[in-house]
Structure 1
Amino acid sequence: MKIRSNSIINSVVYLITLVFVTISCQPTITPQPVADFSVEKVTGSPGKIKLTNKSLNAKRYQWLFGDGRASTDEAPEIEYKTDGTYTIVLTAKNDVGEDQVSNSIEIDGLVKYVTAGFDFAPVSGSASRIQFTNKSVNADRYQWEFGDGQASTDANPTIEFKANGIYSARLIAKNGNSTDEVSKSVSITGIPTSGSVMFYTNGRGDGSDIEVYVANAMQGVINTVQTSGVPTSCGLDGNVTFQNTDGNYSFYAQSKSRSWSGVITVKNGECRMKLLAQ
């Protein structure tokens, strides 16, 4: 009978263990991603396309569709709204790297949807006149509203505002398929502010010949009589109308038989009446 020595047995066991440990410690190698996809149009839907992601070894995706939109879905759905040629870019990624590929597709036959847009700027040398420049896409009809009661159907209107303020300018753009609208605030400053006060009298005889002075300057002579009621507007013949910027102004008036004095208030955009009674 032969008996193996313990040293021989121990050596065999060590060798087997060493081989096992060496084999089990080999690192797992992650392959680089390979980006790939196909693109095709969806029948019956001119703007829709089908994207089939064929990438290998990827965990994450970044799509760019050539119209400003993007997605991180694996196989997103996409629909274009405007005819044109678009370049679609796919970046496939994993923990060790990334790969990129692109394909182009031509879209045509779409319904032309309207996109409303405009810019505006003051007309040179004028604080109140504004030139509106139409930037709408695919539109053939326009309706403008300027926030002060004025309106226009011109493509590029020029509007004169009557008073300082902030106005909401609105453009509605249309074609046979769709409508779109946009509004912008227009700030008007620099228009001289002014109002009016009209002096009138209900007197008789020499009471109708009244000289009117405002702020120590003669403004005119009242040579007519308002027989009833109150005048309906400033600037009527035979009366005296004072026009100036906002504020309080002292006045003096005299006829052959009497005189008047006091203070009048001018308010921007308003026509006020001052009665010199007999």
Structure 2
Amino acid sequence: MDYSEYMRVVAVADFTTTVQAPNNLTVKITNNSKNAKTIQWDFGDGSPASSETEPTHTYSEPGVYTIALNIQSATGFESTKSLDVTVTPVDVIPVVNFAYEQEGSDPLKIKFTNQSQDGITFLWNFGDESATSTDESPTHVFPVTGKYAVTLTATSTTGNDNARIIHIRVPKLTEPEKLDIVNPSFELDPKDSYVITGWDPVVNNYPGSPGWGGFFIAEIPKTGTRCLLFWTPSVDSGNGHTHELAYQGSVTQTIGGLEDGKYSFRAWVYSKDMEGMSLLANGGGEDIIKEVGTNDGYTQLSLDFEVVGGVAKIGFLMNRPEDIGDNWSPVFQVDDAELWILPQ
């Protein structure tokens, strides 16, 4: 008696799919089939078939694809299954950055090094009306010495663009250079004036303050005839200064058209018993502050910071959020403020 028809091995095709991060274009297949001797996968995108047991497949474009599995058992029994899978990539936003340096002996020949992340194509605009470049890290010869706004635009695998503009100097700076700022010595205002030419005073008296404290112009300079003075209010409105009160204020100046890079904000400061007073700088991120402390006369203090985006804010901050003490005569005076750009 022939029992062969009762000995057939039955194949059962079965699988599940998982779309994988971070690009969401890759599909991991888990094979749950039974009694498979031969396996064939069709991923539905025209790519070659696969005979792997549990393949992982990456699609080149987003969309809906039909994955089909065909298996056969040892006795030739065939089973198929198909599933639709949707792949939708997460937007990839490039992070754009680059460095630059002189190449060779030509001071106008600049090598750019692309430091961007998640970009696959790039477009450079050198800011000198020359042709753009699609090289990843180009070398460019500028027509004349000067300052240029160089723009790098990067495009990701998902078609998202991001750009960064860096203001550069050609050739690169080799020595610190002092820049012009408005009214650095506070010479343009009369004594006791709250109008500080070229600077932006911001005042916030805390509750309980009599309101006459703050920054103003005085005649106790290091050089010239004027300086910046901060005076804090006190309990005694008759100026007995028996107890200082909480107070906050600042004087700042915003400067545009700067090249990106490292800077130093410097000022001559005379500070005595003056808690909460700081130099302040911001080159495109968070404020950077440096407490001035106490000295016995005018001392030049400096605060180093970095400019990203061509704009910087410099100035002086008074931050006394609480009643601080009973110093009779605190002093804070500033003269001859300076802004220096440093070699990169």
Shorter-chain TM range is 0.3 to 0.5
When normalised by structure 2's length, the TM-score is 0.28
TM-score (norm 1): 0.33
Tell which has more relative contact order, 1 or 2 (C-alpha 8 A, sep 6+): 2
Higher helix share: 1
